[in-house]
Amino acid sequence: MAPKILVIPGSLRTGSHNARLAALAVKELALVEAEVTRISLADYPLPLYDADLEARSGVPHNAVLLKRMLAAHQGVFIATPEYNASVPSLVKNTIDWISRVRERHEAPLAMFKHRVFALGAASPGGFGGMRSLLALRQVLEIGCGALVIPEQIAIARADQAFDDMDNLKNGHLAATLKAVVRALLDAAQQMA
Ligand SMILES: Cc1cc2nc3c(=O)[nH]c(=O)nc-3n(C[C@H](O)[C@H](O)[C@H](O)COP(=O)(O)O)c2cc1C
């Protein structure tokens, strides 16, 4: 059975480079016959994490829905922007809320430990979001106990990196994305 892969762009911006990267990852995943779902975090609005709010009202329903969405897939690809040399609050806040969801007496963070993550970043800057990739890897691996594959993609000068068909102009980067997708699929297969 083909592994199920969830693709999440970490930006809500119209014309987002990371949404473009996510769309291209979906295309590449479909080519290697993964079963792919792409979501937008705009469909799961969440308040800023606040422990008092959680104590009063519990974890927001959208965090529960997102956690279940992740749980229904063996692999997850996150395309993250870089803000101030780190992961944007949208991505971090989403992970923070999801990490608070407990269902059916699950062990803390159980969902993160039973699936595999791959990361990508796109930035108009020269580092290609590399520092955001490192920060997000730390959050997922060390904070949440997730398996994050070593293969990743950082797209520098993202405003000039895509052609009219939304493919990567640079052959090396295009090959890197294919390698990331292949490695994610292989690792997710082990989880299926
Ligand atoms: C608050 C803020 C901080 C930013 N800091 C960085 C940064 O540290 N490094 C970087 O490469 N780009 C930085 N950027 C530029 C983003 O990479 C750029 O806005 C990018 O287009 C965001 O991703 P998106 O196109 O997917 O929305 C920053 C943007 C904002 C709004």
Instruction: Note the pLDDT tens digit of each residue in 18-50.
Output: 999 999 999 999 999 999 999 999 999 999 999
pLDDT of 55 > 90? The answer is yes
Ligand 1 binding pocket, CB closer than 6 Å = 11, 13, 16-18, 81-85, 123-125, 127, 129
pLDDT of 73 > 80? The answer is yes
What ligand 1 atom has the least distance to the C-alpha of 10? 26
Per-residue pLDDT tens digits for 128-162:
999 999 999 999 999 999 999 999 999 999 999 99
- Residue 103 Cα, ligand 1 centroid: separation in angstroms? 35
- Residue 18 Cα, ligand 1 centroid: separation in angstroms? 10
pTM of this structure: 0.98
What ligand 1 atom has the least distance to the C-alpha of 9? 26
Please report the pLDDT score of residue 119 as a whole number. 99
- DSSP secondary structure code for residue 159 in this structure: G
Please answer whether residues 47 and 94 qualify as being in contact, where contact means their C-beta atoms are separated by less than 8 angstroms.
Answer: no
Q: Is 42 helix (H, G, I), strand (E, B) or coil?
A: helix
Please answer whether residues 106 and 70 qualify as being in contact, where contact means their C-beta atoms are separated by less than 8 angstroms.
Answer: no
- DSSP secondary structure code for residue 106 in this structure: P
